[in-house]
Amino acid sequence: MNLLFIADPLESFKIYKDSTFAMMREAQARGHLLSVCEPQDVRWRRGEPVTALVRDITLTGDPVHWFSAARHQPDERGQALKDFDAVVMRKDPPFDAEYFYATHLLEQAEREGARVFNKPRALRDHPEKLAILEWPRFIGPTLVTRDANDIKGFHAEHQDIILKPLDGMGGTGIFRVKADGLNLGAIIETLNREGAQTVMVQKFLPAISEGDKRILVIGGQPVPYCLARIPQGGEVRGNLAAGGKGVAQPLSARDREIAEAIGPVLAGRGLLLMGLDVIGDSLTEINVTSPTCFQEIADQTGFDVAAMFVQALEAAVARQR
């Protein structure tokens, strides 16, 4: 297959842990051809299909100069997305206006015959913080609001709470407020901007000390191991980007229950790959833009997550032909 990966700049990749790199490496090993571009390289003009200025690359196996390309910059000739066997959208968050616009361009490409994974409409319809609202039986006490008094009332009820913006990633902008309510007013002002920005508030889950578990679901089926991201030092966040320690472990019965309930439903909507975040027994987020942890799980358990993904991608393309 000819595969196009839409991602962040290749030069920014940390290939020892990057899941998109793991996908590319497995795809090349299976004989597939690789092309790459960034979202700003995708364009549409009346009378033409959606195109992208792409680079054709080959992975070298060198840890420093890890790819080779005929050009340092994208080709001046646009290539239609519909001419690729699959387009893999792997741009990292934030899910901002430009990401939103990119999904519309990709949806137009789909109308022209492109096969895009994850499906652009599904990316728009499942914002990573709010997607959990569809599954209330799996989540802890949660509030989504712009109202400062709502937040204060939630704190009065639950005493120990987590506040976070809806567009954050990697643990950015997350605050914990304990029973003393220290700085609650200032945190609310920072996050909701006098009612202009919606905030998610959740009851603090002490099980975070055992890790914020990332459960990967591919083609509707859970990977048998998750990565528990354990906060370090005095940190409340387990995110690897915030210094958390990743420990791979088998799925618990509850982990599997959550994944097997949600996975097939969201796969049916076009989410080939998702990452469920679970603390203790509670679902906290559903990651759909560019779920990670492939390499950490593979390195610690020997389970080849990238192989499972590329096999699922091959099967999905075959079904759509």
Q: Is residue 214 part of a domain?
A: yes
Say whether both 184 and 211 belong to one domain: no
The pTM assigned to this predicted structure is 0.93
Counting Cβ atoms within 10 Å, is residue 66 exposed (0-12), middle (13-18) or buried (19+)?
middle
Ramachandran region of residue 195, left (φ > 0), alpha (ψ -120 to 50) or beta? left
Tell me the sheet residues that pair with 161: 177, 203
Which residues are CB-contacts of 194 (< 8 A; sequence separation ≥ 6)?
none
Residue 190 lies in a domain: yes
Clarify whether residues 40 and 105 are in a common domain: yes
Whether residues 103 and 149 share a domain: the answer is no
Q: Do 24 and 114 reside in the same domain of the chain?
A: yes
Residues that are catalytic: 129, 164, 214, 229, 237, 277, 285, 287
Residue ranges in the chain whose pLDDT is less than 50: none
**CATH code of the domain in which 231 resides:** 3.30.470.20
- Residue 73 exposed, middle or buried by CB count within 10 Å (0-12, 13-18, 19+): exposed
Residues 23, 90 within the same domain: yes
Does residue 312 lie within any of the structural domains?
no
Residue 129 included in any domain: no
d(C-alpha 91, C-alpha 124), whole Å? 13
Amino acid identity, position 133: L
Q: In this structure, are 12 and 117 located in the same domain? A: yes
Specify the pLDDT at position 231.
Answer: 86
Quote the percentage of the chain above a pLDDT of 70: 94
Looking at the structure, tell me whether residues 107 and 11 fall in a common domain. yes
Predicted confidence at residue 244, as pLDDT, reads 82
Domain ranges, residue 290: 207-304
Tokens for 287, please give them: 């990651």
Assess whether 163 and 219 both reside in one domain.
Answer: no
Map tokens 């005929």 to a residue. Answer: 70
Question: What secondary structure does DSSP assign to 134-196, as a single string?
Answer: G-GGGS-SEEEES-HHHHHHHHHHHSSEEEEETT--TTTT-EEE-TT-TTHHHHHHHHHTTTT
Q: SS3 for 5?
A: strand
* Statement to judge: residues 21 and 108 lie in one domain: yes
49 shares a domain with 6 = yes
DSSP state of 285: E
pLDDT of residue 74: 61
Regarding whether 176 and 116 lie in a shared domain, the answer is no
Indicate whether 136 belongs to any domain: no
Distance in angstroms (rounded) separating the CA atoms of residues 266 and 264: 6
- 94-106 per-position pLDDT tens digit: 888 999 999 999 9
- The total domain count for the chain is 3
Domain CATH code at residue 41: 3.40.50.20
* Cα 214 to Cα 85, 229, 277, distances in angstroms: 29, 8, 5
Cβ-contact 228, 240 below 8 angstroms: no
Residues 187 and 226 in one domain: no
Q: Does some domain include residue 313?
A: no
We report the CATH number of the domain holding residue 176 as 3.30.1490.20
Q: What does 25-53 look like in DSSP terms, one character per residue? A: HHHHHTT-EEEEE-GGGEE--TTS--EE-
Closest to 131 in 3D by CA, of 166, 96, 80, 179: 166
